[in-house]
């Protein structure tokens, strides 16, 4: 997440004007704590029109409707068309200074809007000729080179406004890198050098930089899922999912926290946005958790961890997942399928942690009389099930990920108008387009700027040699290289958005891990997981801080508590990179075996972490032996959950026997000690 995100004051609600709830509900975008302008008058209608035009361009391209009679746009023309329509709005939606007014657009931002439109239009009308003449590799006219310098500056300013100073300062130096790539001091990063004019032309005209993988993912798949996510939330899906969660889980021990996990999982599956989850679910679940005995810090931590799973949970994951699909050259459905088991293990571990905590502290569920009735809730929103089934069927069976969200959105809106009491009006449609416009602008501001990072490494050709150098540094020790990657991902994640962090590591470290013999899908998922962990890891911990604002808890304490509650997520990436069966990259029998072992191992890990083991009870009954028993449970759980073989020194069966040797005596001792009469 952006490093300039500000935490709310201890115990205070989030200040007005710092989170745009509309952007948060608009789809699978990682909304930041940033200042967002509310456009009025002509600016608002311009944004609505731009959003409508963006959706039209995407539908025309994906469904090959050929609305442009006698003209078939190149892919690069389509990409630049989207940049032209949406990128200028970055400067009017996101103010450039902390003291800028939020109720009107000042003249500087209006001027940047106009300059961006003119500059982008120049590239759009010349991109076909540039492709024919190979301008991206040299020979571009002077006006194109100069316009490239202007666009370069605009992209970095747009990146600053949407992603913060941490992101732009991480990306900007690398955009200049091709001009100094032949310098000896660069060491492993030494590559082919380009002139400033060549670098400018390559960044703006090639399909590897500005128009590279991030913008391609946005243009091909992300737009449709953003539209679907916005429609889903605006038809009342959030309330429906939360009510279903209360009806199903509310009466269990620690029921409010289990509702939080279940509701956030359901919302996350459809929105793919961490902050959206915190705001939508947390505003209802956190107060109930506090009322039923959870501390404000722990309530905020549970919501933060549950909401973080939004970018991990199929079928609609975060924007990074779409970029990953482009990197891997596979369908988005394959990425979503690969993420299924890791996401399920994460939420299962979270559920176990909460259950053990509630049992240890004697926290009861909610009275049935206070909860919505399940059948009445289903009668109100049953049609959401048909929409989700259609989306999953088109993703996984028909493999039409670019079409699926549009069909699902159309079905959703038809059913909403037929069966929902709150039908859409014309004003609702305008609001729908406005929310999408804000989300499009924010995401294109981040993705377009990050695209230059890919272009810089592409034009210098250093990636293949860098993989060898990284393996040499790690001494051909793959486990050490994985640890280096995890630490680097976590550190980068503290200053970058998950998408930017993923792009960095996918370019720099991904090839080295693949060359070491690790599965490509598992490697990219590993980088993705570790990059998003910053959302619950201090000092940034954006999800924890947002939840703390709702809970009235100290933000930093909530961040540390989030790390404890969500601790299982720090280890799951190592599980699936050590054995790709976890990401559906192996025989189904092996996938079933490792999943069951990981799930059972999680039972003991969470029991040890929380001090309450299922089927045994509160480990405080063991007296002075409590902590040794908890430590042995954690170690035995990891031995059972972690896959053996491959680069691991022990085989799968040896790991199982090790787990049995650790857990059998530990469980026997815990059972005896916790049940013996206590001395007075």
164, 267: one domain: no
Residues 577 and 610 in one domain: no
In contact, 105 and 83? CB cutoff 8 Å:
no
Res 494 pLDDT > 80 = no
Residues 468/515, Cβ–Cβ less than 8 Å: yes
Same domain as 145, residue 115: yes
For 317-370, the pLDDT digits (tens) are 877 888 899 889 888 889 999 999 999 999 999 999 999 999 998 888 888 888
Q: Are residues 182 and 239 in the same domain?
A: no
Domain count across the chain: 3
Residues 329 and 302 in one domain: yes
**How far from 278 is each of 32, 246, 260, 343, 644, CA to CA, in Å?**
12, 17, 10, 18, 37
Position 31 scores a pLDDT of 36
Residue 33 pLDDT > 90, yes or no? no
618 phi, psi to nearest 5 deg: -70, 120
User: Quick check: is 373 in a domain?
Assistant: yes
Evaluate if residue 26 carries a pLDDT over 60. no
Q: Are residues 71 and 108 in the same domain?
A: yes
Query: Is-cis flag, bond preceding 539, omega within 30?
Result: yes
Q: What's the mean pLDDT when you consider all of the chain?
A: 85
Looking at the domain assignment, is residue 436 inside a domain?
no
| Whole-number Cα distances in Å, 558 to 67, 126, 350, 352 | 52, 52, 16, 19
Give the pLDDT score at 464. 65
> What is the model's pLDDT at position 34?
55
Q: Which of 526, 554, 586 is the last residue of a domain?
A: 586
End position of a domain, from candidates 586, 612, 633: 586
Give one DSSP letter per residue of 210-270, joined into a string: TTSHHHHHIIIIIHHHHHHHHHHHHTTHHHHHHHHHHHHHTTSTTHHHHHHHHHHHHHHHH
Q: Are residues 184 and 254 in the same domain?
A: no
Contacts of 76 (CB under 8 A, 6+ apart): 127, 128, 131, 207, 211
* Residues 190 and 72 reside in one and the same domain: yes
- Tell me, yes or no, whether 276 and 303 share the same domain: yes
Q: Which residues contact 293 (CB under 8 A, 6 or more apart)?
A: 361, 362, 363, 364
Render pLDDT for 459-478 as a digit per residue (tens, 0 to 9): 887 766 766 777 777 777 88
Pair (581, 614) in one structural domain: no
Quick one: DSSP state of residue 372?
Answer: P
* In a domain? residue 591: no
- Does residue 515 fall inside a structural domain? yes
Domain contains 402:
no
Domain that holds residue 333: 233-385+484-586
Whether 508 and 582 map to the same domain: the answer is: yes
The two three-digit tokens of residue 442, written as one number: 């924010």
Asked if residue 669 belongs to a domain, the reply is yes
pLDDT tens digits along 512-562: 888 888 899 999 999 888 878 878 888 767 888 889 988 988 888 998 999
Residues 100 and 168 in one domain: yes
Q: Residue 57: pLDDT above 60?
A: yes
Beta-ladder partners of 613: 617
∠ CA 349-352-358, rounded to 5°: 145
Rounded CA Rg of the chain: 25
165 has a pLDDT exceeding 90:
no
Residue 466 falls within a domain, yes or no? no
Within-domain flag for 418: no
Residue 175 pLDDT class (50, 70, 90 cuts): very high
């Amino acid at each position: 997440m952006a490093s300039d995100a500000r935490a709310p004051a201890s115990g205070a609600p989030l200040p007005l004007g710092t989170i745009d709830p509309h952007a948060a509900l608009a789809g699978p975008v990682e909304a930041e704590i940033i200042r967002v302008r509310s456009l009025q008058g002509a600016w608002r209608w311009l944004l609505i029109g731009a959003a409508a035009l963006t959706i039209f361009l995407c539908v025309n391209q994906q469904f090959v409707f050929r609305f442009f009679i006698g003209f078939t746009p190149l892919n690069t023309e389509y990409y630049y068309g989207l940049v032209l329509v949406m990128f200028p709005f970055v400067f009017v939606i996101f103010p450039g200074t902390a003291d800028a007014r939020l109720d009107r657009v000042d003249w500087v931002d209006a001027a940047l809007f106009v300059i961006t439109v003119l500059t982008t239009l120049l590239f759009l009308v010349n991109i076909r000729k540039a492709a024919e003449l190979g301008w991206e590799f040299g020979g571009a006219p002077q006006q194109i080179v100069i316009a490239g310098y202007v666009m370069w500056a605009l992209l970095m300013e747009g990146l600053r406004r949407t992603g913060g100073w941490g992101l732009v300062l991480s990306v900007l130096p690398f955009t200049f890198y091709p001009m100094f790539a032949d310098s000896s001091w660069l060491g492993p990063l030494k590559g082919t050098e380009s002139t400033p004019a060549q670098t400018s032309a390559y960044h703006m005209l090639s399909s590897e930089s500005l128009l590279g993988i991030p913008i391609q993912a946005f243009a091909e798949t992300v737009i449709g899922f953003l539209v679907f996510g916005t429609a889903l939330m605006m038809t009342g899906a959030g309330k429906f999912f939360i009510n279903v969660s209360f009806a199903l889980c509310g009466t269990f021990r620690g029921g409010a926290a289990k509702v939080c996990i279940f509701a956030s999982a359901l919302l996350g599956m459809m929105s793919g946005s961490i902050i959206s989850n915190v705001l939508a679910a947390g505003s209802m679940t956190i107060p109930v958790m506090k009322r039923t005995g959870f501390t404000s810090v722990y309530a905020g931590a549970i919501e933060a961890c549950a909401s973080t799973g939004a970018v991990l949970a199929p079928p609609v994951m975060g924007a990074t997942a779409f970029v990953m699909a482009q990197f891997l050259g596979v369908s988005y459905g394959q990425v979503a399928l690969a993420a299924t088991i890791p996401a399920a293990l994460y939420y299962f571990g979270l559920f176990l942690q909460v259950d053990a905590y509630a049992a240890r502290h004697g926290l009861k569920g909610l009275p049935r009389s206070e909860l919505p009735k399940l059948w009445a809730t289903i009668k109100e929103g049953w049609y959401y099930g048909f929409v989700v089934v259609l989306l999953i069927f088109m993703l996984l069976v028909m493999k039409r990920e670019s079409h699926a969200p549009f069909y699902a959105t159309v079905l959703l809106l038809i059913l909403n108008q037929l069966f929902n009491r709150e039908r859409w009006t014309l004003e609702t449609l305008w609001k729908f387009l406005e929310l999408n416009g804000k989300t499009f602008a924010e995401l294109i501001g981040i993705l377009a700027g990050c695209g230059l990072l890919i272009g810089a490494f592409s034009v210098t050709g250093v990636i293949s040699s860098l993989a060898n150098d990284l393996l040499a540094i790690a001494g051909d020790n793959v486990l050490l290289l994985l640890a280096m990657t995890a630490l680097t991902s976590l550190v980068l994640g503290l200053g970058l958005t998950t998408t930017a962090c993923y792009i960095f590591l996918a370019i720099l470290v991904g090839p080295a891990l693949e060359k070491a013999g690790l599965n490509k899908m598992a490697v990219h998922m590993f980088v993705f997981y570790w990059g998003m962990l910053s959302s619950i890891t201090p000092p940034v911990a954006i999800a924890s801080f947002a939840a703390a604002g709702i809970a009235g808890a100290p933000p930093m304490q909530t961040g540390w508590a989030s790390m404890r509650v969500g601790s299982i997520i720090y280890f799951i990436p190592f599980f699936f990179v050590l054995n790709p069966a976890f990401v559906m990259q192996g025989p189904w029998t092996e996938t079933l075996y490792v999943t069951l072992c990981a799930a059972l191992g999680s039972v003991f890990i969470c029991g040890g972490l929380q001090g309450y083991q299922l089927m045994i009870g509160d480990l405080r009954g063991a007296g002075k032996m409590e902590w040794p028993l908890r430590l042995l449970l954690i170690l035995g759980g990891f031995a059972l959950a972690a896959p053996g073989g491959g680069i691991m020194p022990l085989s799968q069966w040896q790991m199982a026997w090790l787990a049995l040797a650790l857990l059998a005596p530990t469980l026997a001792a815990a059972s005896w000690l916790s049940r013996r009469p206590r001395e007075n």
